[in-house]
Amino acid sequence: TVIRAAILIQKWYRFTMARLEMRRRYSLSIFQSIEYADEQDQLQLSNFFTFMLDHCTHPDAVSQIFTSPSTPQVVDEGLCLKEFEKKIDVPDSYYGPRLSFPLTVEDANALLHAFRNEQLLHARYVLQLLSETRRVLKEMPNITHLSTSYSKEITVCGDLHGNLDDLLLIFYKNGLPSEQNPYVFNGDFVDRGKNSMEILIILFAFLLIYPNDLHLNRGNHEDYIMNLRYGFTKEVSKKYKDHWKQILSLLRDVFSWLPLATIIDSKVLILHGGISDTTDLDFLNALERNKVRDHVHGRVILFSFKNFAILDILWSDPRSQNGCTPNKSRGGGCYFGPDVTAKLFERYNLKMLIRSHEFKPEGYEISHDGKVITIFSASNYYEEGSNRGAYIKLNPELTPRFVQYQVSKHTRRQNLRERVGTIESSALKSLREKIYAHRSELTSAFAQYDINGTGRISVNDWAAAMESVLQLELPWRMLRSQLAQMNPDGEVDFMSCFYDLKVGQPIKEAHPALAETLCRYRKDLEIIFNIIDKDHSGLISLEEFSQTWRLFTSHLGIDVQDDSIDKLVLSIDYNKDGHIDFNEFLEAFHIVHRLEKKAT
């Protein structure tokens, strides 16, 4: 009897753990699918800019919008440290670090201490630091060559994405950068997290102190247009209200000078994304990397989508299948197989490729028979408890050793079921918002299966309709119970997908179809209007708004009547001065969770 009871308990435990793991995995799949769909939207946005140039009434004026940085070039190349000192006063009331150049280890320690205590570095010191960083980066090659012969081990870190706690934990576990403890940080220092600026300041400070021992590769998020979409631009403008334009302008230049790759002992290639069947390291090494950036060259727009050599190394992902195919999930770069890796290794006599760019639940992943390693250093990337971060230690034999970690502030007090529940709840919330933003298309797709107009379809048909519209490659049948109601006959009430959501639409003039369109493309429109708004006042003219909107809907093939947007725009020009606050306008069209609204 005791043995039978033990067997039953063991079966129950295994079943429970399996269900929790299944829920965790599909939650992470939801997060990643939505992330990649968002990156496809970014590509769509770049295509719109080209379309805008071709169809605008005043193409020269529009070209000027995109060729000139939206932040004025107020930071002169020749503006030296002393001039910043003269022009920007540091008040006596400022209690943060006071930097003097050249920097010392004591300065770096002061920065670390200040950021642990949530202090800001004064704008004068930020600008001086960035100016010095640009000067040092300009002397560096496109591909940095390192050797382990002068060091026992080299540490390689992946994406940090503004998660300062991860960087501090890495330094706590692994030691600060020094001549005896070299580091390579493999891009994507910024965006998504709330402390991108602090991460940059710390990394740039150590770069200035140890230029031969701390190395930085460029990631796909070290890019002005990406920063507009994923939060870094907003972070800088909030933290440095008086000097943020100067800081962003200088950062844009600094990003363009970041090296593209690192090679260790002529055997290990480290770059942010991946490779393609056309990757040529000699070509990359000869490129004028500072000219490959986010602005227009003639009629070619956004470096990240038109210069394929750079696009491939910043955006590509490995796959187990042979060949090199377009990366449709992200909308840029490619999927490269083991044969592509082998070909590059044979050509350049390489042994290993270390790349980042891709979320991994355990912080790292090994693929292509051990030849390709993905390292991801941002723990809790999607939600607290969602994943570990990791870094690599490479010894002189070039044998990788992985160190995993996870910053835990709240999850330590939760059991496994609670942690998975938190991740699942956050993932489903994001997915429901995605579903509601495509309500019209989904309703049409459901109707094709609902021949008798009952409002109910089979689970298989419901899943097929969901995938045909959203194209997220998710296990829809498994997710059905979380997203839609089923009647006793086993049919899905497909409109129940939308019951708990609505567009937060206080503007009564907005027609429901128009409100849904504005809700769906809110992020894109925000970026477009921020670029058009060259003085960053938050205001654009009614004419600019209407013309941009018409071009945008024409490019996407959206059927929205012109008079409906005209009436809406006129209604929110409250003081009738011919300008609107577009951020306030777009904020009206976000998705509200009805239950949350009731709770608040």
Phi first, then psi: what are they for 268, rounded to 5°?
-115, 120
What is the total residue count of the chain?
Answer: 600
On whether the CB atoms of residues 298 and 321 are closer than 8 A, the answer is: no
Determine if residue 561 is left, alpha or beta; phi over 0 gives left, psi from -120 to 50 gives alpha, anything else beta: beta
Is 221 assigned a catalytic role?
Answer: yes
Counting Cβ atoms within 10 Å, is residue 455 exposed (0-12), middle (13-18) or buried (19+)?
middle
Task: Give the position of tokens 């300062």.
Answer: 164
Counting Cβ atoms within 10 Å, is residue 451 exposed (0-12), middle (13-18) or buried (19+)?
exposed
Counting Cβ atoms within 10 Å, is residue 438 exposed (0-12), middle (13-18) or buried (19+)?
middle
Terminal C-alpha separation, the chain: 52
Q: Residues near 458 by Cβ (< 8 Å), separated by ≥ 6?
A: 449, 490, 491, 492
On whether the CB atoms of residues 184 and 146 are closer than 8 A, the answer is: yes
In this structure, what token pair is assigned to residue 90? 């540091």
Per DSSP (E only), the strands in 58-170 are 143-146, 154-157
- 221, 243, 357, 555: which is the annotated catalytic residue? 221
Rounded to whole angstroms, the Cα distance separating 250 from 262 reads: 24
Rounded to whole angstroms, the Cα distance separating 245 from 236 reads: 9
In this structure, what token pair is assigned to residue 580? 């609107």
Q: 426 to each of 29, 164, 420, 421, how far by Cα in Å?
A: 12, 22, 10, 9
Rounded to whole angstroms, the Cα distance separating 12 from 20 reads: 12
* Residues annotated as catalytic (active site), given as ranges: 221
